[in-house]
Structure 1
């Protein structure tokens, strides 16, 4: 049996698919992966060749975050068409001989993956990493830039109807034009076409439960986590052992505006709480602002091992980082930048396992206030209690579900 996995997005979109790939192989399946070329090295760590989709994503994300990219309305049709074409070409080439397609990420790329599955007559499985990306009467949809909703509308079902209209307006013409060019009929609801009526929810029930009753037949598997056995470097071990546990600060594969200013503010805030600083460079390119020995910078690192040894984790609020910190029992401060990150910030605060920073722009004062709340003994105790409830078998459960759908 052979399964194609497609993830078009940041590290947080691709990493869970790597976990699923490892679990599928353990159950005897062959795996192909399509993703942005930025993640070729990540796939190499598990001996999976990458079929790249388009150009590197990092410069695109940086341009969006720093405000140098075109606005959402400028050239959207052309950008959507280009992503559809590149995703379709990659998936079509990789899907030869496959028995199923599993997809997540930006809507045009996922729509292209579903088109390939339709043409081949094989199952297509949609994946979400957090509940708020799926229609439900229990929560509203995320707002799309340039598509505001009337402030007086508060009914979630109405908001999801407006979301349908927005996604059709943003992507419908490009998707149906592409489908016509490859001999497929048009779709009248882009979102539901991409998500299907039975998506997988790769998120932990303790962190973010899917509430019933709901319109979709959602299967929540738990988060897809690949065990990381890599040792920490000798230099990092030395830093950790030289003093009290530091505060980790990193934004993963999310660039930030004014990286130098953010770094200075973060270091000042951590020092104000009497703590040492551990900076993760990431796509934000964070670097120490001075040469004091209470600050250390790392690149790619085993977060599963590291987060068990820090006082707190300051991060952007991606699903993967939030879950990894929660599994480690590390108090968190989430500084949300975009997309699903405000959702995760809210969940961290609601669960009492950390603090949600008010908005994406931090100052030394605002981060120090949030850190003070996260570093209390009560927050650490609550984080430890939640850590004990988090599932670790999500990827294996999902792999079995995928293979079961193929078998049927």
Structure 2
């Protein structure tokens, strides 16, 4: 069986696909990934072929695009998908697509007469009476008086307005008819939810037949850098601060360091796309680049992060308390789940002060929170990618 896995967005959107790719390969399938070229080095490390989708992403080491460049990219994105995915899917038996902007994959599969499967990494992008739609960047919070069903109808209109013409243009070029509801076309009636059922449960509803597989995780065997291991061994467990692919505001590193020092804790600062940097040369702080979270998180006192699905899951699996500083999209949802589960705290502001972070750390560093985080850590499944790979192979067979 030949499988194309396609994803858009940052590494957090592509990394789960690599977890699925490894298990599909274990079961004898031939797999290629169609994703942003940022993850090409990661694909090479794992031996997974990649077809680059679009240019290098904003916020990468290549630099951030201008507003005009970003606007042009958004306009061109559906065409880029149709051109690239159509080529990448040639000779495949199935296309698996992830991400809220994957507008072309189903049409390509339809044209080729092959199986299509949509997957979400969080419940909030799937219509349900139990939660509102996931806010997109720049969205204002919806008034509480608006009913959930109306919010989902507005969300559907938004999909049509943004992608409807481009989707129908791409389909016409393939000899396919127009689509009346872009979101329902992309998601289908039977999407998969690749999120842990403890962290991101899916209450069943009549709107969709959702299959929850558990989170898709790539086992990471990389050793920690020698200097990082030495820092960890030299004192009490530090507090980790990292915001992944979020740019963040300029003062967040200082606020975090001051809050952590107020609790007499050492600091690990992960630079990320925000390019966080140390504020002085005192020995209680260390700056690091991207490292193996699976090896690191079990050795820290708490994790301060943006609330991406991958980081939230990694910290939960490690049994370490969390402080979530959500910025957009699904991150407020994961922040609420961390609070509801009692495994950490969340900041109400996207740019919290040192005082706000210190108050959140009061909760996260409490012994009761640590005990609860350790308890929940034992509940988090690690077999989601294996479950999904078997489901996919069985559906084709």
Match of 2:282 in 1: 292
Match of 1:47 in 2: 47
RMSD: 1.9
Counterpart mapping for 1:19-38 below 5 A: 19-38=19-38
Separation in 2 of the partners of 1:8 and 1:69? Answer: 19
Moved more, 30-39 or 136-145: 136-145
Match of 2:199 in 1: 207
Separation in 2 of the partners of 1:193 and 1:388? Answer: 37
Counterpart mapping for 1:187-266 below 5 A: 187-258=179-250, 261-266=251-256
Q: 1:188 to 1:402 in 2, by over 3 A?
A: same
> What SS does the aligned partner of 1:101 have?
strand
CA contact (8 A) 1:81 1:178 kept: no
Q: 1:145 to 1:377 in 2, by over 3 A?
A: closer
Separation in 2 of the partners of 1:148 and 1:298? Answer: 34
Question: What stretches of structure 2 of length at least 5 have no aligned partner?
Answer: none
Separation in 1 of the partners of 2:59 and 2:291? Answer: 22
Separation in 2 of the partners of 1:303 and 1:340? Answer: 20
Separation in 1 of the partners of 2:343 and 2:358? Answer: 17
Match of 1:138 in 2: 130
Separation in 2 of the partners of 1:396 and 1:297? Answer: 35
Q: How far is the alpha carbon of 1:286 from its aligned partner?
A: 1.2
CA contact (8 A) 1:153 1:159 kept: no
317, 323, 327: which is aligned to 1:327?
317
Question: What stretches of structure 1 of length at least 5 have no aligned partner?
Answer: none
Q: 1:59 to 1:296 in 2, by over 3 A?
A: closer
Q: How far is the alpha carbon of 1:56 from its aligned partner?
A: 0.8
Question: Is 1:273–2:263 an aligned residue pair?
Answer: yes
Match of 1:387 in 2: 377
Q: How far is the alpha carbon of 1:116 from its aligned partner?
A: 1.1
CA contact (8 A) 2:8 2:99 kept: yes
Q: How far is the alpha carbon of 1:31 from its aligned partner?
A: 0.3
Q: How far is the alpha carbon of 1:63 from its aligned partner?
A: 5.3
CA contact (8 A) 2:31 2:49 kept: no
Q: Structure 2-normalised TM-score?
A: 0.95
Kindly provide the CA deviation profile for residues 139-176 of structure 1, in whole angstroms up to 9, marking residues without a partner as x. Answer: 11123457768726432222211211121112212211
Q: Structure 1-normalised TM-score?
A: 0.93
> What SS does the aligned partner of 1:307 have?
helix
Match of 1:337 in 2: 327
Question: Is 1:403–2:390 an aligned residue pair?
Answer: no
68, 91, 96: which is aligned to 1:102?
96
Match of 2:292 in 1: 302
Separation in 2 of the partners of 1:200 and 1:15? Answer: 16
> What SS does the aligned partner of 2:273 have?
helix
359, 364, 370: which is aligned to 2:360?
370
Q: 1:178 to 1:79 in 2, by over 3 A?
A: farther
343, 347, 350: which is aligned to 1:357?
347
> What SS does the aligned partner of 1:284 have?
coil
Kindly provide the CA deviation profile for residues 63-108 of structure 1, in whole angstroms up to 9, marking residues without a partner as x. Answer: 59xxx6369xx95xx644411121222212211110000001242x
CA contact (8 A) 2:59 2:273 kept: no
Match of 2:85 in 1: 91
Question: Is 1:16–2:16 an aligned residue pair?
Answer: yes
Separation in 1 of the partners of 2:290 and 2:60? Answer: 21
